[in-house]
Each structure stands twice: as C-alpha cells, then as structure tokens.
Amino acid sequence: MTRFKNLEFESPGSDDRRSAEAPGPQSVPVEAAGWLERADRERRQGHYEEALRYYSRALEIDKSVVPGWVGQVQMLVLLDELTEAELWSRKAIELFPGNGDLIAARAQALVRRGDQRSGMSACDAALQQTGNSWYRWLVRGELMLAARQSTDTACFEKAEQSDRDWLVPLEAALICLYHDAPAKALQRIRKSVEMSPAEPYVWLVQARAQQELGQDRAARTSLEQVLSLSPGHRDAEDRLENLGSKVGQSWRWVRSWLRR
C-alpha cells in the first residue's frame, strides 16, 4: 500500500472532467514539468519505481497534467502492478474521457491481466481517438503479440516511425521479453543500441534478450559495455556473475565427463 499512497487523489466527479486531449507543453506548470523530466530520466534508466514517484509528484502539483497520468499507469504496468494500473487508468479516463493514450494504457493493463477481449476493445477505441502517438501503436503491437498474430511487427514499426526516440524500440523490446519472444526483443533493442549507444540501459536490455536466446558470449559483451558506461551497475554485475557461474558449471561438467 505504501507505493500507492502518493497516487491517491479525490474521487473524480463530473466537475473534474477535463478536455480529452493532453494540454500542450506550455500549459504544464514549470514545477510539474520538472518532475516529468525527472520521471523521464529515471524511466530511460529502467528505474521504474523512481519514475512512478516522480510522475505522481507532478500530479500532486496539478492533476490536469495528462502525461503524468499516462506515465503513472505505464510505470505500474512495467512494475507488473496490473490491478493498480487498470484501476488508475480508469480513474484517469473518468477525468479525461476520450484520451487515446490513457485508453491505450488501460488496454495494456487489461491484456497483461489476461483479458484479451477487453484489451482489444480498449485498444481499438484508443486508436479511434483524436491524435496519434507511438504508445498507442506499441500497445497494439503488444496485443497482436499476445494473440500470436504476426502483425505485431508492423505495429511496432509503426510506433517507431511515429517517434524516432530510442525509448520506443526499447519499450517494444521489453514487451517482447514479457511475452517470451526474445528473438523479437533482440531485433527491437538493437535499434535502440544503434540510436543511443551511450545509454547503459539499452545494453542491459540487449543482454537480457541475448541471455534468453542462449547467446552468453554476446550477453557478456553487452554487460561489459553497461559497466564501462556505468561502473558498479548492480544488475549488470549480478548478471555477469551468473554468467560466470554458468560457464564454471559447464566446465566442471566437461572435466567430470572427460575423467570417466
């Protein structure tokens, strides 16, 4: 419950309903914009707990900041807090009915909870709303992937064409990993690595995909790259240690077999 105490707001009523569209950047209060920037920085490093807290801080200042609502739900999804993600997406949609990104966020939470039919319905509704965004196509790709339909690739590419930010293929790769599709994840994350090789997190996600494909040597190289960019990176160190243990176990088995 501690994690969610900062997400609490007044129950939305009819008087709280706002425009369906997110306000432009100029209309976001400076202080709230600062928290959104912090949230974005943490998100790009894979620090989703911290990003969630900062999105919530932006909403504490002004609950009309739609990117704060969307980001909050997205972080809950990435943290696998799916019940809360679906709950808060509904609350936000009550405030901003017809906002495509919020509806897409609810669709993502629904499909990860196993409600494919409702998720698809919500995703259809999201794509029908005014405006466009990479996130709506990313969620569409996730629904196609979860349904084992080959059109997921086209949706992910549509998302990447909508926004050339390296965050887009990175989060597409995370979706592929979530749905046990490491080969697809590797295809996506390689684009992020090419676009922003100085970011440690893209190398870490690439290592995850390579490990799941049994490409341990390549994973080791990726993890070493993480540590060269971010010395002391705990997750990278742990994964390297596990890789070393795995190699050691294999070598011990080979030596034991040769002695027979």
The 10s digit of each residue's pLDDT in 200-239 is 999 999 999 999 999 999 999 999 999 999 999 999 999 9
> Is-contact 97 79, C-beta < 8 A?
no
Query: What was the pLDDT predicted at 15?
Result: 45
CB 107 within 8 A of CB 122: yes
Could you give the angle at the alpha carbon of 239 between the alpha carbons of 138 and 194, nearest 5°?
A: 45
Residue 10, pLDDT > 70, answer no
pTM of the model: 0.86
Q: What pLDDT score was predicted for residue 255? A: 52
pLDDT at 156 over 90: yes
Q: Say if CB 126 and CB 109 are below 8 A apart.
A: no
Amino acid residing at 17: R
pLDDT in tens, 32-50: 999 999 999 999 999 999 9
Structure tokens at 62: 């002004």
18 pLDDT band (50/70/90 cuts)?
very low
49-89: per-residue pLDDT in tens?
Answer: 999 999 999 999 999 999 999 999 999 999 999 999 999 99
